[in-house]
């Protein structure tokens, strides 16, 4: 995937802050979904035009990437595969728990595949094995995951 375009993120964030000046001092991270260009764009499309209102990431990934864990109410910006910032998100609900603690409701809210717990576990185990291997981490099914529900807050055409 291409590098992320920090200028496009600054411009998108600037638009949001112009309407919501109470967040002017925040510095949201710029992220992409998935681990491939195709996945990044497919998942972003599910956010912008579909049912995706949840995501999950291993706690170890945050630590390995030297990123802070999200907080309820915090913002983040999502980019497409080309690295262009496309939307501002806001964390609504967070829970940390074992990978297999995912429930049917969360799998449904994540909006991917069959939207079932079984499909979700299979897909996320495969993704996490790849993500851990890239970072030189040892995968274990007992790993802790950040389960996050979010809202799209900018641009207005996609906002919840």
Q: What's the pLDDT tens digit per position in 37-58?
A: 999 999 999 999 989 999 999 9
Interior angle at CA 101, CA 103 and CA 117, nearest 5: 35
pLDDT the model gives residue 160 = 87
Within a domain: 159: no
**Is 160 a member of any domain?**
no
In a domain, 21, yes or no: yes
Tell whether 1 is covered by a domain: no
Please check the confidence at residue 2 and state whether its pLDDT lies above 80.
Answer: no
Edge-first strand order for the sheet with 54-58 is: 30-31, 75-79, 85-98, 144-154, 54-58
In a domain, 85, yes or no: yes
Q: What is the CATH number of the domain that holds 55?
A: 3.10.400.10
What domain range is 104 assigned to?
6-154
pLDDT of residue 132: 95
Of the candidates 160, 1, 141, the residue with the CA atom closest to the CA atom of residue 87? 160
Looking at the DSSP bridge assignments, the partners of residue 144 are: 98
Backbone torsions φ then ψ of 155, nearest 5 degrees: -75, 160
pTM of structure:
0.94
Question: Which residues, 6+ apart, have CB-to-CB distance to 114 below 8 Å?
Answer: none
Residue 34 clears pLDDT 80, i.e. is over it: yes
Q: What pLDDT does 50 receive?
A: 85
């Amino acid at each position: 995937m291409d590098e992320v375009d920090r200028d496009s993120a600054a411009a998108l964030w600037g638009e949001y802050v112009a309407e919501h000046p109470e967040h002017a001092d925040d510095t949201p991270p710029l992220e992409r979904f998935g681990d491939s260009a195709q996945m990044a764009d497919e998942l972003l499309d599910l956010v912008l035009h579909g049912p995706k209102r949840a995501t999950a990431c291993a706690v170890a990934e945050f630590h390995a990437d030297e990123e802070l864990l999200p907080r309820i109410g915090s913002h983040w910006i999502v980019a497409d595969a080309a690295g262009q910032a496309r939307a501002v998100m806001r964390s609504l609900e967070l829970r940390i728990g074992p990978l297999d603690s995912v429930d049917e409701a969360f799998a449904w809210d994540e909006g991917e595949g069959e939207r079932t717990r079984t499909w979700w576990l299979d897909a996320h185990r495969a993704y996490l094995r790849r993500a851990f291997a890239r970072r030189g981490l040892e995968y274990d099914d007992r790993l802790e995951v950040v389960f996050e529900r979010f809202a799209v807050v900018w641009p207005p055409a996609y906002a919840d």
